[in-house]
Structure 1
Amino acid sequence: MKSSIKHRAARRARSIAIAVAGVAALHTAPTALAADAWPAKPIKVIVPYTPGGSTDTVSRVVFEQVSQRLGQPIIIENKPGANSTLGVGVAARSAPDGYTFVSVLAAYSANMSLYSKLSYKAADLVPVAEMAELPLFLFASKKLPVKTVAELVDYGRKHPDTLTFGSSGVGSSAHLTGERLAMESKLKLTHVPYNGSAPILPALVSGEVSVAFDPLLVPMPHVKSGKISVLAVASAKRWPGEPNIPTMEEAGFPGFVMSSWTGLLAPAGTPQPIVARMAREIAAATRSPEVTKKLTDLGFVPVGGTPEEFRKLIERDTRRYAEIVKAGKITLD
């Protein structure tokens, strides 16, 4: 009798296990099928900036290649406004079906501290992949008698309250990088924000601002012609195209890595197989000779990593920017 009871109990347990597995399969099957069929229609990538900017440029270069690999059109939709938060908010509220993504800059991490209220939370979006890094270089006006970062710091200490730094706007990567330099050097650097990066170069040439962190491409010809100086690059390694320019760390600022970046996010709930597939296609695109050359010629470093690597980058920069924003009492509210 006892054996019979045990036998029936074992059969009941197996039946329950099979039923549970069946229910789980029913829940996961649509996701698996959707991922297998993806993409079955055009994909939209929201760029929360105006056409022609760094995020827009990287997105168009990379997704032209990804589109060819996936066999579906990828439509770039520019939705600028509110330091990118408008377009990011639209993406966060989009259906997590693998057909809407958003390209972001490092400003995405900074905005978490610059705004007390956002229309989205970090949990509303998931990382897909970093696409490219944009190193920021420290440029100086020729009106300053300095050729190195050490000379700049020495000059600032001997001439207090005279140094200024320009940026493309309050809360930009260039602004927060300049604030970090002021904090770590213990110099007073007065911030001069401009409407975009275009006015910074003439301001450096004329001496309207003392220094500025900016990407290399546009200012470099003026360095070569002797109109401005370049002191260092705020990246982990020297820029391959200009190997004689030292890093900020080599110039005496340990751990001073503040390069901007461009990466892709998806609405939370997007099937993980789709996120992983898009990450792989981005990695393949950024490794292609055509995309590598285009991005490098524009001053970018192609990346193309995994979702987990991008998540760690976002979290690191969110913490880093939060410290700078708090210390500088910076807000965009």
Structure 2
Amino acid sequence: MAAAGAGTVALSGCSAVQSELQGGGGEYPSEDISYIVPFSQGGGTDTYARKIMPQVSNELGSGIAIENVPGAASLKGAAEILRSEPDGYTFGGFNPPSTPISYLVHQPDWDMTKLMPVCTYARTPYGIFANPEHNIGGLKDLVNRYQSGDLKQFAGLGRGGIVNLAAIVMKNDYGLNYNQYVAYDGAGPAIKAAVSGEVPVVATTDTAAQSAVESGDLEVVSILSSEGSSVFPKAPSPSDTGFKSIDYIGQLTRCMFLPPETPTDIRDTLAEGVKAALQTDEVQTWSEQTGNIVEYGSHERAKKALVNSINTIPDKVNMSKLRGE
């Protein structure tokens, strides 16, 4: 398999979670497994993989080689997962709605919805954060301030990404009538711009804004997931304040997927391995120390995140415009 980078997770201990292969052909897994990360080394998805996969390896009793396959806005790696043999020895992870947005924009000649969801392992909510000088009293007040013209700029990450699309959805659904979307290259510069007063408001992940909020440089206006934020547990979501839920675009749901037609007992074995791995002291300690939340969810939850992204976003956002058509 071609890959930009790879790392083999060393196996230690005996198998804790294994299953009989369908047809009675022995136990699964009986050889090493490849885990595809459709991004370069060092990013969030890669970081999660390198912390979680050693423990999954221990649970399954097989080595796991992490394969970084970046390219085509994460579609190259996603396509490799889909086109791999459905034998359980290649799976991978990406984060709806991020990769589905790339899929909708670039329209490859393969069907992402045919991937077999395994589970979810984390959730990263986005939120709206404001410079305290503006004294914004929640999401309704924020909408009113934009409608009155008191506020004009809304800041986030690059155009065509999740934050940009979330801003478009909120403009259409909530009446968040900003005059200018200011796109920054990364959460750091965007947060810095809001702290300095260059822009009044920024949308980014809860973990990215945590330090600025704790220091008093920013205030939480809203968390964009109805499931809330473990970083800011008291922060309201749009649905808490009378607005429509936008969970399909308001959070990253970190998911794992197998090739289509993989036997379901293999999927279940992998899912159980991940679930057990997330509960280990090693992963829990890392999560507590870094703020990278881990949260297991079923294959149904992963499927819902994928399908909702692909089915809902085109109804809410003009994808042709994003494609430059």
- The TM-score normalised by the length of structure 2 is 0.82
Letter in 1 for 2:152: T
8 Å Cα contact 1:110/1:322 also seen in 2: no
Which residue in the other structure is 1:227 paired with? 217
Alignment of 1:2-41 (within 5 A): 31-33=22-24, 36-41=26-31
| Residue 166 (structure 1) aligned to one of 149, 156, 161 | 156
CA distance in 2, matches of 1:332, 1:47: 28
User: How far apart are residue 103 of structure 1 and its match?
Assistant: 0.7
CA distance in 1, matches of 2:324, 2:291: 28
Identify if the C-alpha distance between structure 1 residues 309 and 146 changes in structure 2 by more than 3 Å, giving closer, same or farther.
Answer: closer
Is 1:256 matched up with 2:224? no
Identify if the C-alpha distance between structure 1 residues 305 and 240 changes in structure 2 by more than 3 Å, giving closer, same or farther.
Answer: closer
Alignment of 1:207-222 (within 5 A): 207-222=197-212
8 Å Cα contact 2:187/2:208 also seen in 1: no
Aligned-residue identity in percent:
27
8 Å Cα contact 1:283/1:304 also seen in 2: yes
CA distance in 1, matches of 2:72, 2:151: 32
| Residue 272 (structure 1) aligned to one of 257, 264, 282 | 264
Is 1:314 matched up with 2:306? yes
Which residue in the other structure is 2:119 paired with? 129
User: How far apart are residue 65 of structure 1 and its match?
Assistant: 1.1
Identify if the C-alpha distance between structure 1 residues 296 and 173 changes in structure 2 by more than 3 Å, giving closer, same or farther.
Answer: farther
Aligned residue for 2:36, secondary structure, equals strand
Deviations 1:211-247 (A, max 9, x none): 2322222322212222222211112233344333222
Aligned residue for 1:139, secondary structure, equals strand
Is 1:331 matched up with 2:313? no
Aligned residue for 2:117, secondary structure, equals strand
8 Å Cα contact 2:143/2:174 also seen in 1: yes
Alignment of 1:179-258 (within 5 A): 179-189=168-178, 190-257=180-247, 258=250
CA distance in 2, matches of 1:244, 1:277: 36
Deviations 1:184-217 (A, max 9, x none): 2223333333333332221222233332322222
Identify if the C-alpha distance between structure 1 residues 125 and 243 changes in structure 2 by more than 3 Å, giving closer, same or farther.
Answer: closer
CA distance in 1, matches of 2:290, 2:253: 13
CA distance in 2, matches of 1:120, 1:327: 18
8 Å Cα contact 1:142/1:229 also seen in 2: yes
Alignment of 1:57-68 (within 5 A): 57-68=47-58
Aligned residue for 1:41, secondary structure, equals coil
Gaps of 5+ in 1: 1-28
8 Å Cα contact 2:36/2:77 also seen in 1: yes
CA distance in 2, matches of 1:200, 1:332: 25
Letter in 1 for 2:210: M
User: How far apart are residue 88 of structure 1 and its match?
Assistant: 0.9
- The TM-score normalised by the length of structure 1 is 0.81
| Residue 281 (structure 1) aligned to one of 253, 270, 273 | 273
CA distance in 1, matches of 2:246, 2:138: 16
Structure number with larger C-alpha Rg: 1
Superposition RMSD in Å: 2.6
Is 1:111 matched up with 2:89? no
User: How far apart are residue 324 of structure 1 and its match?
Assistant: 2.6
Letter in 1 for 2:264: Q
8 Å Cα contact 1:163/1:188 also seen in 2: no
User: How far apart are residue 44 of structure 1 and its match?
Assistant: 1.1
Identify if the C-alpha distance between structure 1 residues 123 and 180 changes in structure 2 by more than 3 Å, giving closer, same or farther.
Answer: closer
Is 1:89 matched up with 2:79? yes
8 Å Cα contact 1:296/1:302 also seen in 2: no
8 Å Cα contact 2:238/2:244 also seen in 1: yes
CA distance in 2, matches of 1:232, 1:195: 22
